[in-house]
Amino acid sequence: MNFLRGVMGGPSAGPQPSGADTIQKLCDRVASSTLLDDRRDAVRALKSLSKKYRLEVGIQAMEHLIHVLQTDRSDSEIIGYALDTLYNVISNDLEEEEQDDSEEENSAKQVDDLGSQFTEIFIKQQENVTLLLTLVEEFDFHVRWPGVKLLTSLLKQQGPQVQQIILVSPMGVSRLMDLLADSREVIRNDGVLLLQQLTKSNAAIQKIVAFENAFERLLDIITEEGNSDGGIVVEDCLLLLQNLLKNNNSNQNFFKEGSYIQRMKPWFEVGDDNCGWSAQKVTNLHLMLQLVRVLVSPTNPPGATSSCQKAMFHCGLLQQLCTILMATGVPADILTETINTVSEVIRGCQTNQDYFASVNAPSNPPRPAIVVLLMSMVNERQPFVLRCAVLYCFQCFLYKNQKGQGEIVSTLLPSTIDATGNSVSAGQLLCGGLFSTDSLSNWCAAVALAHALQENATLKEQLLRVQLATSIGNPPVSLLQQCTNILSQGSKVQTRVGLLMLLCTWLSNCSIAVTHFLHNPANVPFLTGQIAENLGEEEQLVQGLCALLLGISIYYNDNSLENYRKEKLKQLIEKRIGRENFIEKLGFISKHELYSRAAQKPQPSFSSPDHMMFDHEFTKLVKELEGVISKAIYKSSEEDKKEEEVKKTLEQHDNIVTHYKKVIREQDQELEELKQRINTLTSQNEQLQATVTQQVSQIQQHKDQYNLLKVQLGKDTQHHNSHGETFQMNGIQTEEVSKLKEELEEWKNKHELLQGQLKEKDSVIEKLNSSQLEMGTTEQSSQTSKFGGLEHNNELQKELEMLRSQIQLQSAEISKLQMENQKLQVMVLTTTADPMLGDSGATAATSSELEGRLEQEIKELKSEVKALSEEKESLKQHLDSSSSTVAILQDEKSKLQREVAESKKEQDDLLVLLADQDQKISALKIKLKDLGVPVEDEDDTESGDQGDEDEDGDEEEQD
pLDDT of residue 94: 53
The percentage of the chain sitting over the pLDDT mark of 90, rounded to a whole number, equals: 41
Is residue 773 predicted with pLDDT exceeding 50?
Answer: no
Q: What mean pLDDT comes out for the span 455-464? A: 92
Q: How confident is the model at residue 958 (pLDDT cuts 50, 70, 90)?
A: very low
Burial class (CB within 10 angstroms; exposed 0-12, middle 13-18, buried 19+) of 815:
exposed
Q: Model confidence over 646-670: pLDDT tens digits?
A: 777 777 777 888 888 888 888 888 8
Residue (of 73, 52, 62) closest to 7 by Cα position = 52
pLDDT of residue 95: 46
Rounded-to-integer distance, Cα 691 and Cα 697, Å: 10
Contact call for residues 88 and 150 (beta carbons, < 8 A) = no
Is residue 548 predicted with pLDDT exceeding 90?
Answer: yes
Rounded-to-integer distance, Cα 13 and Cα 456, Å: 95
pLDDT of residue 96: 46
Q: How confident is the model at residue 892 (pLDDT cuts 50, 70, 90)?
A: confident
- The residue among 636 and 206 whose pLDDT is bigger is 206
Q: Model confidence over 506-527: pLDDT tens digits?
A: 999 999 999 999 999 999 999 9
- Torsion sign over Cα 740, 742, 747, 752: positive
- From residue 332, alpha-carbon distances to 384, 485, 591, 606, 732 in Å are 11, 37, 35, 17, 103
Residue (of 585, 571, 682) closest to 635 by Cα position = 571
Rounded-to-integer distance, Cα 937 and Cα 733, Å: 54
Q: Determine which helix (DSSP H) or strand (DSSP E) holds 468, and give its type and residue range.
A: strand 467-468
Contacts 24+ apart (CB under 8 A), 307-314: 307/256, 308/252, 308/256, 308/261, 309/345, 309/346, 309/347, 309/348, 309/349, 309/352, 310/349, 310/351, 310/352, 311/256, 311/261, 311/262, 312/261, 312/345, 312/352, 313/345, 313/349, 313/351, 313/352, 313/355
Enumerate residues 6+ apart whose C-beta is below 8 A from 566: 554, 557, 559, 632, 640
Contact call for residues 335 and 386 (beta carbons, < 8 A) = yes
Is residue 785 predicted with pLDDT exceeding 60?
Answer: no
In the three-class reduction of DSSP (H, G, I as helix; E, B as strand; rest coil), residue 478 is classed as strand
Is residue 871 predicted with pLDDT exceeding 80?
Answer: no
- The residue among 642 and 277 whose pLDDT is bigger is 277
pLDDT of residue 798: 64
Q: What angle do CA 464, 467, 468 make, to 5 degrees?
A: 135
Contact call for residues 405 and 458 (beta carbons, < 8 A) = no
Q: Model confidence over 896-925: pLDDT tens digits?
A: 778 778 877 877 777 787 877 778 887 777
Q: Model confidence over 616-649: pLDDT tens digits?
A: 999 999 999 999 898 888 876 666 667 667 777 7
Is residue 10 predicted with pLDDT exceeding 60?
Answer: no
Is residue 705 predicted with pLDDT exceeding 60?
Answer: yes
Least confident range from 490-494, 732-736, 876-880: namely: 732-736
Is residue 957 predicted with pLDDT exceeding 50?
Answer: no
Q: How far is CA 558 from the centre of its chain?
A: 48
pLDDT of residue 728: 40
| Highest-scoring range by mean pLDDT, 194-198, 687-691, 949-953 | 194-198
Is residue 306 predicted with pLDDT exceeding 50?
Answer: yes
- The residue among 624 and 882 whose pLDDT is bigger is 624
- Beta strands 367-368 and 360-361, pairing class: antiparallel
Residues composing the chain: 959
pLDDT of residue 929: 77
pLDDT of residue 717: 63
Q: What mean pLDDT comes out for the span 107-130? A: 80
Enumerate residues 6+ apart whose C-beta is below 8 A from 152: 190, 193, 194, 197
Is residue 196 predicted with pLDDT exceeding 90?
Answer: yes
Peptide bond into 365 cis (omega under 30): yes
Is residue 346 predicted with pLDDT exceeding 70?
Answer: yes
Contact call for residues 554 and 577 (beta carbons, < 8 A) = no
Dihedral over alpha carbons 549, 554, 559, 560 (to 10 degrees): 0
pLDDT of residue 754: 65
Enumerate residues 6+ apart whose C-beta is below 8 A from 82: 43, 65, 68, 69
Q: How confident is the model at residue 815 (pLDDT cuts 50, 70, 90)?
A: low
Averaged confidence pLDDT in the chain: 80
Rounded-to-integer distance, Cα 439 and Cα 271, Å: 38
Is residue 272 predicted with pLDDT exceeding 80?
Answer: no
Is residue 602 predicted with pLDDT exceeding 70?
Answer: yes
Residue type, 503: L
pLDDT of residue 729: 40
Q: Determine which helix (DSSP H) or strand (DSSP E) holds 361, and give its type and residue range.
A: strand 360-361
Rounded-to-integer distance, Cα 426 and Cα 412, Å: 8
Q: What mean pLDDT comes out for the span 467-493? A: 84
Q: What mean pLDDT comes out for the span 240-251? A: 94
Q: How confident is the model at residue 765 (pLDDT cuts 50, 70, 90)?
A: low
pLDDT of residue 54: 86
